[in-house]
Structure 1
Amino acid sequence: MQVVRHVVCAMSGGVDSAVSALLLRRRGYQVTGVFMNNWDVVDEHGMCSAEKDCEDAYRVCQKLDIPFHQVSYVKEYWHEVFSYFLNEYEKGRTPNPDVLCNKHIKFNHFLNYAIDNLGADAIATGHYARTSHEDEDIFQNQYLKSSQTLFRNRFEIRNNVKLLQAADFFKDQTFFLSQISQCALRKTLFPLGGLTKDFVKKIAAEAGFHHVLKRKESMGICFIGERNFEKFILEYLEPQPGNFVSIEDGKILGTHKGWFLFTLGQRARIGGLRDPWFVVDKDVATGDIFVVGASFMSNLNNHSVR
């Protein structure tokens, strides 16, 4: 008699996680859906869409006739992801919250919950990525939590797994998974790794997941959503006004609310100026952001070509 494997699938309320759960069911696995709430709606005065996301995830699980659970990692997200994110911004760096979120929340706390509390044989997410292990390899891998000591057990048997690029190069998300541990990779399935986004949408349409197909593609901060980034960050960090300064002639072109809001290379939207200007340097001491015009960059590139 074949053992039925239990896979706990992270449900976001979007099309990718919905199709992931569907594909797992079609493979004959016992599937449980879990929605993670990691941002306090009260703090954002109702701006967060977590309640709607949770409802959409629940409807998918109802349609698939699989159990549905909710877990909250609000405190963990704040301390392990968002606080670090803010501290790095104050230092002038631009960390990627999705990388941190995957490392600390989805592939640590959620993984432990799925295995320890729900008895999962493996977890699954809707990421576009692949691994070097087949499904059965994942189920056979022993779950060994990351060692808290400096040295690992020399007698520990390790079956290392490689993180591989998804079939859909445009949607590939391996960068965002680059910091998750080996112990997490060894127990994770990526059902969408061999599919394109268009094909995933087709599967969702055929399965009747019309409510998730209508959703806009999520492009915001992990678990927080898409919003006015400058306004959002300034709710947590003190404004540090400064000037936009042309690196060509030293002319002040406008003002900004904080040098930490800008990344080198990004377009600086300066009030009153229609032509594009781009950030090339920042002076933390004065708060000045040095910018260069597109025409200057074009001339520079033409000169280097010659």
Structure 2
Amino acid sequence: MKAVVGISGGMDSAAAAALMLDRGFEVIGVHLRFRCSREEENRVERIASELGIGLLSLDVENLFNSKVRYPFFDDLRKGFTPNPCVTCNERVKFVSLVSAARDLGAELVATGHYARVSLSPDKGTGLLRGVDPEKDQSYMLYRIPVSILGKTCFPLGGITKREVRAFCAERFPALFEGVAESSDICFIPGRKLEEAIELNAGPSIPGRIVTTSGEELGHHRGLNRYTIGQRKGLSLSGGPWFVVEKRMSLNELVVGRQEDLVVEEVFCTDPVWHVEPVTGERLDGCHRYRCRPSPCILEQVNDRYFSCRFPEGVSGVAPGQSLVLYYNDRVYGGGIIERAEKGGPPGHEDHR
């Protein structure tokens, strides 16, 4: 059977390609070019050469810019906290890999994500958490349609990162020495996030920092530099303080204590369902990548919108992020957080 494997030049995608080859697949590597360095391209070529597989390089920069990069900065300008990796997986990576697989006559697409796919006659196609809790990426993949997941394989979903490192050290000696893990926002190099925001999301306009009671504590450097739940970088006396609201129309940053972050109801748009949603279903919700799941109840549901109630409360919910719902280890569905309403017991999460 022929399989297309996305190869980025990193350790995980190299391991995925090697494992697919070991399982007897005819592997074709596909490299999606949109922001890689010459060093990364050289690693991609070396991975393909050492595995003895064919390699197709596709320029997807225009697609990436239109679907991920530009919307990311637009959302920041509007006061949201977007997750570009979720968008990229849905609108660039898997679309491009599936298209390449079709053109090459491949039956399967594989990537180096830490997640699992289950195929069951009774339950259908399911997206499951990876077995390594420190690396699980099912949150980032929740928007991938079930129709694509049914033709997708994640070879690393059943192993840990430690096992992947050991495997690559033996399979690709010295190739990944000194190579850092990929960053959350791969198209912003180094630690230049604030510079990139200033350049692409418009000028940062300073404004007041006020408490929930209206007391002025200082001045912020532009609302698009902050996110709900943020603690670091506020430089305010009398702390700890947390960002609890961004008042875009007034250009005010509202800060409060940890208990002020607690919300009980979360409202989401653009839902994606992996199973038919049932109002009243008791689930676990993750409102940002790698957060601790919180018990919730699915309430209002329609084609464009849903809401969940968190009886125990949940903290640090930022509009623009995704709320991903789980039933045990299986992704139930999710959507983009639009807003949240205060209430519930004190929060129990760690904050940045």
Q: TM-score, normalised by structure 2?
A: 0.68
Q: 2:243 aligns with which of 266, 273, 279?
A: 279
SS of residue matched to 2:105: coil
Q: Does 1:27 align with 2:23?
A: yes
CA distance in structure 1 between the partners assigned to 2:260 and 2:116 by the alignment:
42
Give the CA deviation at 1:172.
0.5
CA distance in structure 2 between the partners assigned to 1:296 and 1:53 by the alignment:
44
How many matched pairs? 262
CA distance in structure 2 between the partners assigned to 1:304 and 1:20 by the alignment:
42
What are the residue-to-residue correspondences of 1:135-284 with 2, within 5 Å?
160-239=124-203, 240-247=205-212, 250-256=215-221, 258-271=222-235, 276-284=240-248
Bigger CA drift: 244-253 or 71-80?
A: 244-253
CA distance in structure 1 between the partners assigned to 2:212 and 2:176 by the alignment:
47
Q: Residue 226 of structure 2 aligns to which amino acid in structure 1?
A: F
CA distance in structure 2 between the partners assigned to 1:178 and 1:293 by the alignment:
32
Tell whether the 8 Å contact from 1:35 to 1:71 is kept in structure 2 after alignment. yes
Q: Does 1:13 align with 2:15?
A: no
Match for residue 129 of structure 1?
A: 115
Q: Which has the larger radius of gyration?
A: 1
Pair 1:133–1:214, CA change in 2 (3 A) = farther
Identity %: 34
Give the CA deviation at 1:295.
11
Give the CA deviation at 1:82.
1.9
Q: Residue 17 of structure 1 aligns to which amino acid in structure 2?
A: S
Tell whether the 8 Å contact from 1:121 to 1:187 is kept in structure 2 after alignment. yes
Q: TM-score, normalised by structure 1?
A: 0.77
CA distance in structure 1 between the partners assigned to 2:243 and 2:63 by the alignment:
34
Bigger CA drift: 274-283 or 176-185?
A: 274-283
SS of residue matched to 2:58: strand
CA distance in structure 2 between the partners assigned to 1:225 and 1:181 by the alignment:
30
Q: Which has the higher contact order (CA 8 A, sep 6+)?
A: 1
Q: Residue 210 of structure 2 aligns to which amino acid in structure 1?
A: V
Q: Does 1:98 align with 2:85?
A: yes
Pair 1:255–1:287, CA change in 2 (3 A) = same
CA distance in structure 2 between the partners assigned to 1:87 and 1:274 by the alignment:
34
Q: 1:65 aligns with which of 41, 44, 52?
A: 52
Give the CA deviation at 1:113.
1.8
Bigger CA drift: 166-175 or 76-85?
A: 76-85
Give the CA deviation at 1:204.
0.6
Q: 1:109 aligns with which of 90, 96, 102?
A: 96
Give the unaligned 5+ runs of structure 2.
262-344, 348-352
SS of residue matched to 1:212: coil
CA distance in structure 2 between the partners assigned to 1:70 and 1:128 by the alignment:
23
Q: Residue 196 of structure 1 aligns to which amino acid in structure 2?
A: T
Tell whether the 8 Å contact from 1:254 to 1:271 is kept in structure 2 after alignment. no
SS of residue matched to 1:21: helix
SS of residue matched to 1:168: coil
Point out the structure with the larger strand share.
2
Q: 1:119 aligns with which of 84, 101, 105?
A: 105
Give the CA deviation at 1:253.
2.2
CA distance in structure 1 between the partners assigned to 2:86 and 2:230 by the alignment:
20
Give the CA deviation at 1:248.
5.9
CA distance in structure 2 between the partners assigned to 1:56 and 1:129 by the alignment:
24
RMSD: 2.7
Tell whether the 8 Å contact from 1:8 to 1:33 is kept in structure 2 after alignment. yes
CA distance in structure 2 between the partners assigned to 1:274 and 1:232 by the alignment:
31
Match for residue 75 of structure 2?
A: 88
Tell whether the 8 Å contact from 1:9 to 1:31 is kept in structure 2 after alignment. yes
CA distance in structure 1 between the partners assigned to 2:188 and 2:102 by the alignment:
26
CA distance in structure 2 between the partners assigned to 1:296 and 1:177 by the alignment:
31
Tell whether the 8 Å contact from 2:4 to 2:100 is kept in structure 1 after alignment. no
